[in-house]
Amino acid sequence: MDPRRGPLAVPKVRRVGFFTSIEPSPETPRPNRSLSGPAEAITSSSPLSDSPSGQFISPVQIPPSRHHSDNLASRAAPVPVPGPSAFRRQLANDRTLHVGSYNPVDSLLGTSPPSSNGEVSEDSGSLFGFQRSDSAKLSASFPNGGFDMTVAVRAPGESEAKVATASTSDGRKKNVEASGESESVATKPRKEKETRSLKEKTSKAERRAIQEAQRAAKAAAKGEGSKRAGESSRPKPSKPAKQPQPKKEAPQVTSSVSEKRAVSVEKERRMDVPQTQMQYDDKSRVDKAKRRSVVEQTESKNKVELFLHLPQYERGNQLPNLSSNIFTLDTIHHAVYKVGLQHLAGDIAGDNARCIAMLHAFQEAINDYTTPPMKDLTMDLTAKINGYVSFLIECRPLSMSMGNAIRFLKNQIRKLPVDLSEPEAKASLCSEIGRFIDEKILLADKVIVQHAVTKIRDGEVLLTYGFSCVVEMILLYAHEIGRKFRVVIVDSRPNLEGQKLLRRLVTRGLDCTYTHINAVSYIMGEVTRVFLGASSIFSNGTLYSKVGTACVAMVANAFSVPVIVCCEAYKFHERVLLDSICSNELGDPDAIANVPLRNNKKHSKTMDNNKNLQFLNLMYDSTPAEYISMIVTDYGMIPPTSIPVIVREYRREDLLL
């Protein structure tokens, strides 16, 4: 079509390059897959089985048809029968008929045909195009197709192995054990799945089964690596292990000072716990919190039932209330206050930025801190920080990364030697915070950029969703070192963060396409790689990120486009997340009700008072690990199954150093 799409034919052919790029020798795995995999079986079995494969590629290949630009005319004639949408519907029908036995094949086929047909590209593509029209009918009329269960059964195992080999050859020794372990875990539920309907790959029960198995594995691993396991400060899984520990400590130490210290440590630990997990449907606790609260909040009238456990407040008068109190809040340091105000007003977005802003504010607050007479610096400062944190939570719920940073800071305070003078202690804390920002965020970003850039090759089309500063850095750096690629920015209402990214990329001279998430299934066809940012990644590999990310990842998965998540390791969280309901944040409901540039004041007014109407503006969603191909982090490129390893091996040391 247009000239810039010309060179893109190349990466299209090498779609599986995702795996080859990771592996040192790209030749070995490819034939391996095409020979042993069901793809081979299918292509050899019958023309019938060919047809669904054609079908499955079809959504990939239909939209821009850049491959066939030369024989477009010839193609146009036979294809008219099904439009892409009609096609999908038919496809869905098929699936229900076939008890989803396509599905694993689908996932494989999506990747395999380009690998096997790669060299033939144009002709074969058009061949598929011709066949497609009747293939749908055919497959409909032969419900059992050419598939038997065994093929389907083998398929996922195969793909799993592939991922595992890919990751092992990645060069990280730790990953070997991790992926090995996780593989054994992950294949188990897979087998269960086969017996059940394979169609619903992502059904909740199954995911839970997987995650439970993983958790069990993790617990086992924890049992092995025993000593440290107890020190995780998250409540549920580690509580029994946690409590005995400080008790053990207490008798050992004899001096009264350190005894007091131990008590305070325990106390602080207890204080640590409720931070992110306040249940807002628990009346008594909410009331208690309200009495302490600084920001005046009125609960919203039309609460969303399912999310009662999350804070739901009227947005309108929070900001004026808080800002008129600016001079009366003596307890809050002005730097912290400013950050809180910016969070509340939504001026500052993005996890890294929020975290950095908060840490800078804490730095300033600590600098200005003086211990009141007759008080201990450790305890008093911790109490102060707790006050700041609860203020920030009132302004906007903390992100996971901020929680981690706060935990780091509290640990640092706790570990201050008793004999340190106040200025020394303050200086050391400030430098520790600075080090955290430098090492865990800024340097980590640099490392991630270096890693991720190796995954960008000339002629690729990269898709990103929303705005992530790491992804922006990657794209800019790749452009700087002369890679030729195109960027698709997918955005969504109401914040339209992608526009910021778009503006900056375009001014730097990158070739960009901007679209909204509604069109993601269309645009995904021409994409060769998806880069996503993250708010957090949990131990079971679940990606917790801006709402819509899961949708993008799943569409990418359906189109067999590799999904690469870029996330600094300080954002990893040792909790396990199964859905996006338990832990989430609700944004301003008005933001989705009001459409900019449209005068709908009257409209929304009538809507406001409607009891039957609730606006739900979710901020985050969770993407199951199976939709993530790779996570680029500062410890290297890892599969999502390796998150617990990082948390266990690296983070603990950082936290309790």
Partner 1 sequence: MISERLYTFADFVCKTLFEPLINLIDDKKKKKPLFLSPSNSEMDFQVVILAGGFSSNLAPLVSKEVPKALLPVANRPVLSYVLDLLESSNLKDLIVVVEGEDAALTVGGWISSACVDRLHVEVAAVAENVGTAGALKAIAHHLTAKDILIVSGDIVSDISPGAVAATHTRHDAAVTAMLCAEPVSGPAESGGAGGKDKIKKPACYDIIGLDSSKQFLLYIATGVEVKRDTRLKKSILCAAGKMEIRSDLVDSHIYAFKRSVLQEVLEQKPTFRCLKQDVLPYLVRTQLRSDVFSDEKAVEENGSGHGKNNMQNNDGVSSQILSNAFLPSFHKVYESGLDIRKTHKCCVYIADESKYCVRLNSIQAFMDVNRDVIGDANHLSGYSFSAHHNIVHPSAELGSKTTVGPHCMLGEGSQVGDKCNVKRSVIGRHCRIGSNVKVVNSVVMDHATIGDGCSIQGSVICSNAQLQERVALRDCQVEAGYVVFAGGEHKGETFARK
List of residues contacting partner 1 (CB under 8 A): 320, 322-328, 330-334, 337-338, 341-342, 345-350, 352-354, 356-357, 360, 368-370, 437-438, 441-442, 445, 469, 472, 500, 503-504, 507
Pairwise CA distance, residues 221 & 380, whole Å:
37
Give me the least distance between CB of 500 and partner 1, in Å please: 6
Which one, 10 or 469, has the nearer CB to partner 1? 469
Q: What dihedral angle (degrees, nearest 10) is formed by the CA atoms of 407, 413, 417, 420? A: 160
Give me the least distance between CB of 59 and partner 1, in Å please: 35
Give me the least distance between CB of 620 and partner 1, in Å please: 17
Q: What are phi and psi of 556, to 5 degrees?
A: -60, -40
Which one, 291 or 327, has the nearer CB to partner 1? 327
Pairwise CA distance, residues 515 & 448, whole Å:
26
Q: What 3-state class would DSSP assign to 434? A: helix
Q: Find, among 262, 200, 31, the residue nearest to 554 by Cα.
A: 200
Provide long-range contacts, Cβ within 8 A and 24+ apart, for 499-506: 500/467, 501/464, 501/466, 501/467, 501/471, 501/472, 504/472, 504/476, 505/472, 505/475, 505/476
Which one, 221 or 469, has the nearer CB to partner 1? 469
Which one, 27 or 330, has the nearer CB to partner 1? 330
Give me the least distance between CB of 511 and partner 1, in Å please: 19
Which one, 243 or 370, has the nearer CB to partner 1? 370
Which one, 243 or 324, has the nearer CB to partner 1? 324
Q: Find, among 151, 155, 146, 148, the residue nearest to 48 by Cα.
A: 146
Give me the least distance between CB of 158 and partner 1, in Å please: 42
DSSP track, 450-484: HHHHTT--TTEEEEEES--HHHHHHHHHHHHTT--
Q: What are phi and psi of 544, to 5 degrees?
A: -110, 110
Give me the least distance between CB of 166 and partner 1, in Å please: 31
Q: In what order do the strands lie in the sheet with 572-573?
A: 572-573, 536-538, 543-546, 620-623
Give me the least distance between CB of 79 and partner 1, in Å please: 44
Pairwise CA distance, residues 137 & 17, whole Å:
33
Give me the least distance between CB of 469 and partner 1, in Å please: 5
Give me the least distance between CB of 248 and partner 1, in Å please: 38
Pairwise CA distance, residues 19 & 13, whole Å:
14
Give me the least distance between CB of 519 and partner 1, in Å please: 24
Which one, 350 or 541, has the nearer CB to partner 1? 350
Q: Find, among 553, 615, 617, 614, the residue nearest to 585 by Cα.
A: 617
Which one, 102 or 570, has the nearer CB to partner 1? 570
Give me the least distance between CB of 383 and partner 1, in Å please: 14
Pairwise CA distance, residues 517 & 520, whole Å:
5
- For residue 108, give Cα distances in angstroms to 40, 46, 154: 11, 18, 11
Which one, 605 or 611, has the nearer CB to partner 1? 605
Which one, 94 or 445, has the nearer CB to partner 1? 445
Contact 625, 541 (CB under 8 A): yes
Give me the least distance between CB of 351 and partner 1, in Å please: 9
Which one, 308 or 353, has the nearer CB to partner 1? 353
Pairwise CA distance, residues 378 & 418, whole Å:
8
Which one, 13 or 448, has the nearer CB to partner 1? 448
Provide long-range contacts, Cβ within 8 A and 24+ apart, for 278-283: 278/311, 278/393, 279/309, 280/308, 280/309, 280/310, 280/311, 280/312, 281/308, 281/309, 282/309
Which one, 192 or 368, has the nearer CB to partner 1? 368
Give me the least distance between CB of 532 and partner 1, in Å please: 17
**CB under 8 Å to 193, separation ≥6 — which residues?**
156, 201, 206
Give me the least distance between CB of 468 and partner 1, in Å please: 11
Give me the least distance between CB of 623 and partner 1, in Å please: 22
- For residue 349, give Cα distances in angstroms to 234, 355, 511, 568: 26, 10, 25, 17
- For residue 637, give Cα distances in angstroms to 130, 179, 255, 411: 40, 12, 47, 28
Q: Is the peptide bond before 82 cis (omega within 30 degrees of 0)?
A: no
Which one, 305 or 330, has the nearer CB to partner 1? 330
Which one, 304 or 345, has the nearer CB to partner 1? 345
Contact 469, 350 (CB under 8 A): yes
Region label for 597, one of left (φ > 0), alpha (ψ between -120 and 50) or beta (otherwise): left
Which one, 352 or 539, has the nearer CB to partner 1? 352
Burial 317-335 (b: 16+ CB within 10 A, else e): ebeeebeeeeeebeebbeb
Give me the least distance between CB of 596 and partner 1, in Å please: 9
Q: How many CB atoms lie within 10 A of CB 205?
A: 10
Q: Find, among 137, 65, 69, 149, the residue nearest to 102 by Cα.
A: 149
